[in-house]
Structure 1
Amino acid sequence: MNAAIWAHPWDIIDEGSEAVAERLLDIGITEVNLATTMHSVQTLNPHNPERKTFFADASAYFQPDESRYGELVPDVNETMGDADWLAEIANGLETTPVSLNSWTVPFHSSKQGRRHPQTTLENPFGDSLVWGLCPSNPDVREYGTALVAELADRGDVDGIEMELADFQYGTGYGWHHQEFFTRLGGLGEFLFGLCFCEHCQANAREAGIDVETARESARNGLEMRFEGGISHRTDVAGWLAEHPSLARYVGTRKAVVTDLFDEFAEQMGALPFGYYLKMGGLGDDRMGVEHSWKHGLDLDALSEPLDYVTVLAYHSDPTVVRDDVRTARSLIDVPVNVGLLAGHPIVDSRASLVAQAEAAAEAGAEKLSFYGYGVVPERNIEWIRAAIDAAARI
């Protein structure tokens, strides 16, 4: 079974591309998914020889050709400065058997959102959600397609894998020190992040939808949840069925994302196009791949522009990993890979990671991708070796 690993550029730069490649090949990994544009992050880097933590605003790890872009231009990482880490890493891996994929996160950018609030998602109360750019916005669409085209034209990577190039979800997967002392639950999260920017509203009106009624339903639902008028366990699909204008409003988002992905695929040319299926929630609020529509994803329609998907199955229970892979295979007609988090808080032993890899292989995953090279301890690297070996025997 093929295996890949996600990596941040600073870890490869600090250890050296050839040394990292040698280490990865030794444990059975032949692909690196390298962060080329990413959200804001602080990482703990247990085996990095130069630094044990790294802070980064949402930024790009290459030098963009600014003439290719419009209103939005990639923000170069401040620590990288005038260097081009993508080019350096690609050059270092060129003489090795390790291939390089671009891990591209285009629209989850608080830095872009703060600088260009008119391009962000706008919740039902009119608040700008600065962590997320809205894919209905023409400037955002232009930015995403220009970014993909530049990455393809540079010739540094063997494929492009994208994450959160959609309507994202809820409260944005964490925003610094959040102070949320109301349990939103699945419905509250969904409604909180539902975009009502001018472009989303225009799309809905063009489809004949009563936008004001839809928005009022979303606001009322949130206010009822704030005050405990509806349960945090309320089923989202069931609640939407009782609010048909809002349900139709939500449905218009699928065409927006599908059309955008068609544009991405055209810009990539012959490069493989992969996408990460990422759903949120914990415990009773956990959501599986079947909830991808909450991101505006129409998995059936996306079988055309995509070459494969990777299910981010970050779950402690191997049976949930298995179910996510099986569900994805039933919903989309492209190869399904699986992403496994090889560290805290998901796995705490070699055996637990092995069990997850085995479950994914039994469910039909075609490739294992592990998160991540620089952020897990040395011992976990060896756990990854064991997981790959175990999956290969399935």
Structure 2
Amino acid sequence: MGHGVFAYTWDLIGDPDAAVRIAELGADTVTLQAAYHAVRGITPWHPAHRVVHAEHAAAYFPIRPDRWSGLRPLAPSWAVDNPDRFGTAAAALTAAGLSVEAWLVLTHSSAVGAAHPDVTVRNAYGERYPYALCPSHQAVREYALTLVSEVCDQYDVGALMLEACGWLGFDHGSHHEKTDGAELSATARRLLSLCFCPACRTALGSDADRMAQSVRAAVDAELHGSPAPNIDATALLNHRATVIADLVREAKSLAGGDRRVLLMATDDPWVTGPDVGVDFQSVQPDAFVLKCWGDAGAAARQLKAAAQRTDVPLVANVTALNEHWDGVTELLEAGAAEVRYYHAGLASQARLERIRTAITEARS
């Protein structure tokens, strides 16, 4: 039974006590960000700062120019003092007796999307989502796999945690969101998450125009007061599944036999976002990481259902940041083989105690 916690490099760098504080939670693994999207976070325990504003997606390892062609990540412009922030933080964790997993966000980058809009997701209206790189494009696949290979070449980590290993859609990424007033249903939001960029249109062939027109008609019908009709998107979902399965397979090949590849996922091919929507029988990572952030009973049912559809081990991703959290016993009984706790760097003292208590109870 493995217990791990998430952490950011800025939680550790400059805080000599951070690694020991994390180790004292009882976890044996830390999922540490190596490539990550823009974020504003708080550091309750750091001796030198409280709020970190990561203004754009960045790689937290040295970016070796000769290893990149086409798309490439940015270095963190707000932290130029140390080009190897991942390595520095990982070394501190290792010295404290902890294993390190590299946390890689692959297709969520407003910085890369703004510089290369031609490889971003484009909805049925032709509107681009600049935060969402579309993995139908070979350039995006090469970018994602170079993130993987560079971490594997530069660090001896035991596992890779892949986030956003597919499409991001309508619901994830914009600033100062102003879309709630339209009261879009879940169906309409999913339709607005379908990609019709040139690469996806090529994969769809002659059906692309018809499908895009059907999506526009369905969304407009709902926006103007009628229920959105069902759309047959089987061809597009099958295309997604093929691209994602290929990405995971190639990532595993790059990782080699000594590193596990953990995939943040959900067993619903319509889903877009950080947890990629896939058929669990069509993709074979070393473990699926299922987000169990809501009601514990619902999360347990999700795990039980997933365990019936795959032999791949399941990792429960739980958050101690919710107001109401009952630990992980029910999730372990439902079929979780491991647990990852979100998030050691963001948590208050009381919430850190929740993590410590949950690990202790699970191990007893």
**Is the TM-score greater than 0.5?**
yes
SS of the aligned residue for 1:14 comes to: coil
Residues 84-163 of structure 1: pairs in structure 2 closer than 5 A = 84-163=84-163
Q: Distance in 1 between matches of 2:166 and 2:141?
A: 11
Aligned partner of 2:279 in structure 1 is: 298
> 1:166·1:297 contact (CA, 8 Å) conserved in 2?
no
SS of the aligned residue for 2:14 comes to: helix
Aligned partner of 2:304 in structure 1 is: 326
Aligned partner of 2:5 in structure 1 is: 5
Show CA shifts across 1:276-327 (max 9, x none): 12xxxxxxxxxxx442443452321212xx1011111110x21012112212
Q: Residue 92 of structure 1: CA displacement?
A: 2.2
> 1:61·1:80 contact (CA, 8 Å) conserved in 2?
no
> 1:102·1:157 contact (CA, 8 Å) conserved in 2?
yes
Q: Distance in 2 between matches of 1:151 and 1:332?
A: 28
Q: Distance in 2 between matches of 1:64 and 1:331?
A: 39
Aligned partner of 1:342 in structure 2 is: 320
Q: Residue 24 of structure 1: CA displacement?
A: 2.5
> 2:23·2:96 contact (CA, 8 Å) conserved in 1?
no
Show CA shifts across 1:242-289 (max 9, x none): x4xx33233222111111211111111121100112xxxxxxxxxxx4
Counting matched residue pairs gives 356
Aligned partner of 2:241 in structure 1 is: 254
2:351 to 366, 380, 386: 380
> 2:255·2:261 contact (CA, 8 Å) conserved in 1?
yes
**Are residue 27 (structure 1) and residue 31 (structure 2) matched?**
no
Q: Residue 183 of structure 1: CA displacement?
A: 1.6
Show CA shifts across 1:131-187 (max 9, x none): 110010111011111111111111242211100111123322x42201112122211
Q: Residue 54 of structure 1: CA displacement?
A: 0.7
**Are residue 353 (structure 1) and residue 353 (structure 2) matched?**
no
Q: Residue 108 of structure 1: CA displacement?
A: 0.7
Aligned partner of 1:276 in structure 2 is: 264
Q: Residue 91 of structure 1: CA displacement?
A: 2.4
Q: Residue 6 of structure 1: CA displacement?
A: 0.5
Q: Residue 340 of structure 1: CA displacement?
A: 0.8
Q: Distance in 1 between matches of 2:318 and 2:48?
A: 26
Aligned partner of 1:72 in structure 2 is: 71
SS of the aligned residue for 1:311 comes to: strand
Q: Distance in 1 between matches of 2:330 and 2:278?
A: 25
Amino acid at match of 1:368: V
> 1:254·1:293 contact (CA, 8 Å) conserved in 2?
no
Q: Residue 82 of structure 1: CA displacement?
A: 4.7
SS of the aligned residue for 1:86 comes to: helix
Q: Distance in 1 between matches of 2:60 and 2:156?
A: 12
- TM-score, normalised on structure 2? 0.93
Aligned partner of 1:218 in structure 2 is: 215
Q: Distance in 1 between matches of 2:301 and 2:226?
A: 33
Amino acid at match of 1:298: D
Identity of aligned residues (%): 27
Aligned partner of 1:264 in structure 2 is: 251
Q: Distance in 2 between matches of 1:229 and 1:158?
A: 51
Gap runs ≥5 in structure 2 = none
Amino acid at match of 2:237: V
- TM-score, normalised on structure 1? 0.86
Q: Structure 1 residue runs of 4+, over 6 Å off? A: none
SS of the aligned residue for 1:310 comes to: strand
> 2:61·2:85 contact (CA, 8 Å) conserved in 1?
yes
> 1:311·1:328 contact (CA, 8 Å) conserved in 2?
no
The 10-residue stretch of structure 1 (87-96 or 139-148) with the greater mean CA deviation from structure 2? 87-96
SS of the aligned residue for 1:265 comes to: helix
1:310 to 267, 270, 289: 289
Q: Distance in 2 between matches of 1:257 and 1:4?
A: 25
> 2:190·2:270 contact (CA, 8 Å) conserved in 1?
no
Q: Residue 38 of structure 1: CA displacement?
A: 0.9
